[in-house]
């Protein structure tokens, strides 16, 4: 009988990082890990890959590691691989699944492809970043490692020709509902986010159509239900808002992220 616990799968790309690969596996308590790499026998990439495998094995619990040797510097190849991994996991686990996608390690092609693939599968995929706490190269060695004489160079000295990345359409959040969410956030802070107040403010800003009022000046119930259906239910369904009590709601972390990313650009659009 199933315990009901979701299978936790993690996808990463291994090139020249170890901690950025291994630490999230422990943090998310992943049970299966897909590692994309280009590590051939005897290569420096293989040494990093082998160390990742060694540290995973030292965690003291069963973790299935799935090896995916592929061209991690080719965007289309990596994206195909990540999408296939996601679909295989859905076929295997059904809805009882969470896929954590590490976009902070590996090649830039992998990071871009993995993020795009995750955004195409938001019902199961959770992309995450992991930043460095301590660096292997100390500050006083940066000039020695990343400079050519007195000239700053960085990790890359020369490049190949740029290659355009194929773009795939991704649905942006509805502008009206994003801007309305900003109004809700402001009203929650003021302590007045009831339907009648929200409908009035949204109507004043052109975000909600005219509505009928009762003799007391309150919105008709049919229009309150329209606001509930078109805004509140939508926000909750998207995970942007959650109920705290019968009369109170709050904007979630995901909702705040949506506002941070999209609100300014949407507000600048001409009517």
Q: What is the mean pLDDT of the chain?
A: 91
Q: Does 223 reside within a domain?
A: yes
Domain count, the chain: 2
Is the Cα torsion angle 66, 69, 72, 78 positive or negative in sign?
negative
pLDDT tens, position by position, 200-238: 999 999 999 999 999 988 999 999 999 999 999 999 999
Q: Which residue has the tokens 């995970």?
A: 239
C-alpha to C-alpha distances, 267 to 34, 178, 264, nearest whole angstrom: 40, 10, 5
Same domain as 107, residue 32? yes
Same domain as 180, residue 127? no
Q: Does 155 reside within a domain?
A: no
Average pLDDT over residues 5-22: 93
Q: For residue 83, what pLDDT is reported?
A: 94
Average pLDDT over residues 151-155: 85
Question: Domain boundary residue among 115, 136, 157?
Answer: 136
Q: Which residue has the tokens 């329209």?
A: 226
Query: Residue 90's domain is classified under what CATH number?
Result: 3.40.50.10770
- Token pair belonging to 43: 């290569």
- Token pair belonging to 165: 């990345």
Same domain as 195, residue 263? yes
For residue 270, name the pLDDT band (cuts at 50, 70, 90).
Answer: low
Q: Does 143 reside within a domain?
A: no
Alpha-carbon dihedral angle through residues 127, 131, 137, 139, given to the nearest 10 degrees? 150
Q: Which residue has the tokens 């199933």?
A: 2
Q: For residue 137, what pLDDT is reported?
A: 86
For residue 169, name the pLDDT band (cuts at 50, 70, 90).
Answer: confident
Same domain as 110, residue 54? yes
pLDDT tens, position by position, 41-62: 878 889 999 999 999 999 999 9
For residue 247, name the pLDDT band (cuts at 50, 70, 90).
Answer: confident
Same domain as 224, residue 122? no
pLDDT tens, position by position, 79-134: 999 999 999 999 999 878 999 999 999 999 999 999 999 999 888 999 999 998 88
DSSP assignment letter at 170: -
Q: Does 145 reside within a domain?
A: no
Name the β-bridge partners of 13: 36
Q: What is the CA radius of gyration of the chain?
A: 24
Does residue 154 carry a pLDDT above 90? no
Does residue 271 carry a pLDDT above 60? no
Conformational region of residue 61, where left means phi above 0, alpha means psi within -120 to 50, and beta covers everything else: beta
Q: Which residue has the tokens 């699944």?
A: 97
Same domain as 184, residue 94? no
Longest Cα–Cα distance in the chain:
83
Q: How far apart are CA 124 and CA 95, in angstroms?
A: 8
Q: For residue 1, what pLDDT is reported?
A: 34
- Token pair belonging to 195: 């339907």
Does residue 246 carry a pLDDT above 60? yes
pLDDT tens, position by position, 96-107: 899 999 999 999
- E strands within the chain? 7-14, 32-37, 64-69, 97-102, 125-128, 147-148, 151-152, 241-243, 249-251
Same domain as 82, residue 21? yes
Q: Does 150 reside within a domain?
A: no
For residue 143, name the pLDDT band (cuts at 50, 70, 90).
Answer: confident
Q: For residue 127, what pLDDT is reported?
A: 95
User: Which range marks the domain in which residue 227 is found?
Assistant: 175-267
């Amino acid at each position: 009988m199933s315990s009901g616990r979701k299978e936790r799968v993690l996808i990463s790309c291994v090139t020249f990082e170890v901690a950025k690969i291994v630490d999230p596996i422990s943090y998310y308590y992943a049970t299966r890990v897909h590692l994309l790499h280009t590590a051939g026998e005897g290569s420096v990439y293989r040494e990093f890959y082998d160390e990742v495998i060694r540290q995973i094995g030292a965690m003291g619990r069963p973790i299935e590691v799935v090896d995916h040797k592929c061209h991690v510097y080719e965007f289309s190849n990596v994206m195909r691989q990540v999408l296939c991994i996601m679909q295989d996991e859905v076929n295997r686990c059904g809805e009882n699944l969470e896929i954590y996608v590490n976009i902070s390690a590996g090649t830039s092609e992998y990071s871009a492809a993995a993020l795009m693939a995750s955004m195409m599968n938001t019902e199961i995929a959770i992309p995450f970043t992991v930043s460095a706490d301590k660096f292997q190269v100390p500050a006083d060695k940066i000039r020695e490692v990343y400079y050519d004489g007195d000239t700053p160079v960085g990790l890359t000295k020369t490049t190949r020709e740029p290659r355009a990345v194929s773009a795939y359409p991704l649905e942006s959040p509805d502008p009206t509902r994003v801007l309305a969410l900003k109004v809700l956030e402001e009203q929650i802070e003021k302590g007045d986010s009831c339907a009648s107040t929200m409908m009035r403010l949204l109507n004043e800003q052109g975000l909600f159509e005219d509505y009928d009022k009762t003799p007391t000046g309150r919105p008709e119930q049919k229009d309150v239900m329209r606001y509930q259906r078109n805004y509140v239910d939508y926000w909750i369904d998207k995970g942007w808002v959650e109920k705290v009590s019968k009369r109170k709601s709050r904007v979630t972390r995901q909702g705040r992220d949506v506002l941070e990313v999209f609100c300014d650009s949407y507000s600048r659009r001409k009517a």
